[in-house]
């Protein structure tokens, strides 16, 4: 068994990998032969390695037990993986990137694709070390099992994230003298019992005293699978809740205690209730820019902040917590609820006071009356047509804001926008990985035209591999959110417009189906047809570029 075969066998035996995403080059081409012979792993060869890293992110985004895998040749191929590895690093996604590397005997001589840092070559080991939890170089075939074991456990352990493995060209086909099955031993990050008791006592006191309690759910709740725990806490004690944009829809937005999304583009009901909240329980929240009104310094003044996060570095990073807990969100809530059950005798649940007509953007009329389709109606149409278990992916740009404000997610519908790193095209490509991990669910990409133009040739990847994703392109021919930023700052803008192709013709040239919609009814009809086809489809949604998403604070 050579190193390539050992890597593939280890990935197979992990039980966490059904798809891998990557491309080839001289340094890593032999790995494809080992992947070809696997009957447990499907290999998806992409048009650009950057897309492979985004797809690996998508593969684990809604499936926390999955391990995303991307691979590339050394040098330029490896460097193309950086954007997706950075997404995984900031968004806590367990990814392993495997790339080629110069053989030991020729390092420093300027061999093809060299990135050792020697003789004026770029240093990929330093770069990956700065963009992942850990980067490795396999210097001997006998190391491969130990390195892969440590890499996989590092990716999955604690706060999950990406790791990277360099496999030099001469090592890839070297015989492994000591192959063994690896052991995955991921220890849960569990709250200390004392902390759970303190949280429980403070929440019970808040219920007893009829304080305005508010639960703020973040993306960490999704990673931890904490949905049922959250709903038990909310329903038992009648605690109103909001989510960050990153956790939108994780809890059903038609729930009677839902106040919507909180933040820079948040719902009016969420913003109003947050202002009068006495106690905020923030679970799985890192207090990113959008969720804090651009890091508003006095946001939590006069409030009791109770903060739960799996990463100790997130505690007190932005706001000092009155009570804090380092824990997986599910395990934290489970412990807190157990303690509260012991304390709740004689406690009457809260009767929160907020208007019956809690204002959320998706229930409010569009601002203005544009002649072209309003982008809010694109978002509404997607959530109205999407099945109850659909996954919708928003990319970076104004369309992400429209989706977060005007989709009403119910049942088991899921949504994800790019996190804090937030590169354009990440979810336009990442949705392919999402679909590979969730073949039984409809996956829809809400993509801006600017994002799609950065990544659209991966449509060929979807067609070739029969991966049925529906791409809805918000087509306004401009960088709309940056245009608004410039207008707010300077009352003028520059270089915001660009040309678009005929997306219907483009889709058909790639072997997919293309459709065009110019109003909400046409879009809903196109979406229904696309979902029924169960094939890759591109829908060109022609929208007005002179309307802008709602902002609670100027950018």
The answer to whether residues 296 and 374 belong to one domain is no
The predicted pLDDT at position 272 comes to 94
Q: What is the mean pLDDT of residues 273-293?
A: 94
- DSSP notation for 86-151: HHHHHHT--EEEEEEE--GGGTTS--TT--BSSTT--BHHHHHHTTSSEEEE--SGGGHHHHHHHH
The model's pLDDT over 187-200, given as tens digits with 9 standing for 90+, comes to 999 989 999 999 99
The predicted pLDDT at position 134 comes to 98
Q: What is the mean pLDDT of residues 492-515?
A: 96
The model's pLDDT over 13-36, given as tens digits with 9 standing for 90+, comes to 999 999 999 998 888 888 999 999
The answer to whether residues 106 and 44 belong to one domain is yes
Q: What is the mean pLDDT of residues 193-210?
A: 96
Q: Could you give the angle at which helices 3-14 and 144-156 cross, rounded to 10 degrees?
A: 30
The answer to whether residues 256 and 368 belong to one domain is no
Tell me: pLDDT of 206 over 60: yes
The predicted pLDDT at position 420 comes to 81
401 assigned to some structural domain: yes
181 assigned to some structural domain: no
Tell me: pLDDT of 41 over 80: yes
CA 35/CA 272 separation, integer angstroms: 54
The model's pLDDT over 438-470, given as tens digits with 9 standing for 90+, comes to 999 999 999 999 999 999 899 999 999 999 999
The answer to whether residues 202 and 324 belong to one domain is yes
The answer to whether residues 126 and 59 belong to one domain is yes
Strand, coil or helix: 216: strand
The answer to whether residues 197 and 164 belong to one domain is no
Tell me: pLDDT of 419 over 90: no
- Cα torsion 528, 451, 43, 14 to 10°: value is -90
| Cβ atoms of residues 330 and 226 within 8 Å | yes
Structure tokens, 411: 């049942």
The answer to whether residues 490 and 373 belong to one domain is yes
530: confidence class by pLDDT, cuts 50, 70, 90: very high
Q: What is the CA radius of gyration of the chain?
A: 24
553 assigned to some structural domain: no
Cα separation values, 61 from 52, 201, 430, 454, Å: 14, 34, 9, 21
The predicted pLDDT at position 355 comes to 74
307 assigned to some structural domain: yes
Cα separation values, 469 from 415, 473, 503, Å: 15, 13, 15
The answer to whether residues 312 and 457 belong to one domain is no
CA 250/CA 263 separation, integer angstroms: 16
The predicted pLDDT at position 534 comes to 97
351 assigned to some structural domain: no
17 assigned to some structural domain: yes
The answer to whether residues 374 and 335 belong to one domain is no
CA 488/CA 483 separation, integer angstroms: 9
| Cβ atoms of residues 388 and 358 within 8 Å | no
Structure tokens, 434: 């999402």
> How many residues are given for the chain?
555
Structure tokens, 524: 């809903």
Domain of 290: which CATH number?
Answer: 3.40.50.1220
| Cβ atoms of residues 58 and 31 within 8 Å | no
Tell me: pLDDT of 519 over 90: yes
pTM: 0.95
Secondary structure E strands in 378-480: 391-394, 414-416, 443-448, 470-475
Mean per-residue pLDDT over the chain, rounded: 94
The answer to whether residues 428 and 522 belong to one domain is yes
The predicted pLDDT at position 553 comes to 59
- DSSP notation for 326-373: ES-HHHHHHHHHHHHHHH-TTPPPP-----TT---GGGSPPSS--SSB
Q: Could you tell me what percentage of the chain is helix, strand and coil, using 3-state DSSP and rounding each to the nearest 5?
A: 40, 15, 45
CA 359/CA 350 separation, integer angstroms: 21
Structural domain harbouring 136:
3-168
Cα separation values, 435 from 36, 98, 200, Å: 21, 22, 39
Strands 134-137 and 162-168: parallel
Q: What is the mean pLDDT of residues 120-132?
A: 96
Q: Where is the domain boundary, 343, 371, 388? A: 343
CA 141/CA 175 separation, integer angstroms: 6
CA 484/CA 468 separation, integer angstroms: 34
**Measured distance between the N- and C-terminal CA atoms of the chain, rounded to whole angstroms:** 56
The model's pLDDT over 362-383, given as tens digits with 9 standing for 90+, comes to 999 887 767 889 999 999 999 9
The answer to whether residues 24 and 108 belong to one domain is yes
Domain of 37: which CATH number?
Answer: 3.40.50.970
The answer to whether residues 444 and 532 belong to one domain is yes
- As for how many domains the chain has, the answer is 3
Q: Where is the domain boundary, 168, 184, 206? A: 168
418: confidence class by pLDDT, cuts 50, 70, 90: confident
357 assigned to some structural domain: no
69 assigned to some structural domain: yes
Q: Which of 39, 40, 30 is nearest to 3 (CA)?
A: 30
The model's pLDDT over 316-347, given as tens digits with 9 standing for 90+, comes to 999 999 999 999 999 999 999 999 999 988 88
Identify the sign of the CA torsion 46, 50, 56, 61.
negative
Partner residues linked to 324 by β-bridges: 307
Q: Where is the domain boundary, 168, 183, 216? A: 168
Q: What is the mean pLDDT of residues 302-311?
A: 97
The predicted pLDDT at position 554 comes to 46
């Amino acid at each position: 068994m050579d190193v390539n075969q050992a890597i593939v066998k280890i990935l197979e035996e992990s039980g966490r990998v059904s798809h891998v995403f990557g491309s080839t080059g001289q340094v890593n081409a032999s790995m494809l032969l080992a992947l070809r012979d696997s009957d447990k792993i499907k290999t998806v060869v992409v048009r650009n390695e950057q897309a492979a890293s985004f797809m690996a992110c998508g593969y684990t985004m809604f499936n926390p037990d999955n391990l995303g895998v991307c691979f590339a040749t050394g040098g330029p191929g490896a460097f193309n993986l950086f954007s997706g590895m950075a997404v995984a690093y900031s968004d806590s996604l367990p990814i392993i990137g495997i790339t080629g590397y110069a053989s030991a005997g020729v390092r420093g001589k300027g061999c093809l694709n060299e990135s050792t840092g020697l003789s004026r070559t770029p240093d990929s080991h330093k770069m990956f070390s700065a963009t992942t939890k850990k980067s490795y170089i396999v210097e001997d075939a006998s190391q491969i099992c130990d390195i892969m074991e440590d890499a996989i456990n590092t990716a999955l352990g604690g706060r999950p994230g990406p790791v990277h493995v360099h496999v030099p060209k001469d090592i890839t086909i070297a015989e492994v003298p000591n192959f063994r099955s690896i052991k995955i031993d991921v220890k849960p990050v569990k709250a200390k019992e004392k902390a759970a008791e303190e949280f429980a006592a403070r929440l019970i006191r808040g219920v007893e005293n009829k304080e305005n309690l508010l639960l703020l759910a973040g993306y960490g709740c999704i990673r931890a699978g904490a949905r049922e725990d959250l709903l038990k806490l909310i329903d038992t004690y009648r605690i109103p809740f909001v989510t960050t944009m990153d956790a939108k829809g994780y809890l059903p937005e038609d729930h009677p205690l839902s106040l919507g999304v909180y933040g820079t583009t948040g719902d009016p009901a969420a913003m109003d209730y947050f202002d009068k909240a006495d106690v905020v329980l923030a679970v799985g929240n890192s207090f990113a820019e959008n969720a804090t009104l651009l890091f508003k310094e006095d946001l939590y003044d006069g409030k009791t902040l109770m903060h739960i996060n799996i990463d100790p570095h997130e505690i007190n990073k932005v706001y000092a917590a009155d009570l804090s807990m380092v824990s997986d969100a599910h395990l934290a809530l489970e412990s807190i609820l157990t303690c509260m059950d012991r304390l709740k005798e004689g406690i009457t649940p809260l009767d929160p006071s907020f208007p019956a007509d809690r204002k959320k953007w998706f229930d409010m009329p569009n601002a203005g009356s544009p002649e072209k389709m309003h982008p809010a109606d694109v978002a509404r149409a997607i959530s109205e047509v999407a099945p109850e278990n659909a996954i919708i992916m928003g990319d970076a740009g104004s369309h992400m804001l429209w989706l977060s404000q005007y989709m009403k997610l119910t049942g088991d519908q899921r949504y994800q926008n790019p996190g804090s790193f937030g590169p354009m095209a990440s979810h336009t490509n990442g949705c392919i990985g999402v679909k590979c991990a969730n073949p039984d669910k409809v996956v829809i990409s809400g993509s801006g035209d600017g994002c799609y133009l950065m990544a659209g040739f991966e449509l060929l990847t979807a067609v070739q591999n029969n991966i049925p994703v529906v791409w809805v392109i918000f087509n306004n021919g401009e960088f709309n959110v940056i245009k608004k930023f410039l207008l707010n700052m300077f009352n003028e803008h520059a270089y915001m417009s660009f040309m678009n192709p005929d997306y219907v013709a483009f889709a058909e040239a790639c072997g997919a189906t293309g459709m065009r919609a110019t109003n909400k009814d046409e879009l809903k009809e196109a979406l229904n047809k696309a979902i029924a086809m169960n094939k890759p489809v591109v829908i060109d949604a022609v929208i007005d570029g002179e309307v802008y998403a709602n902002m609670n604070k100027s950018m």
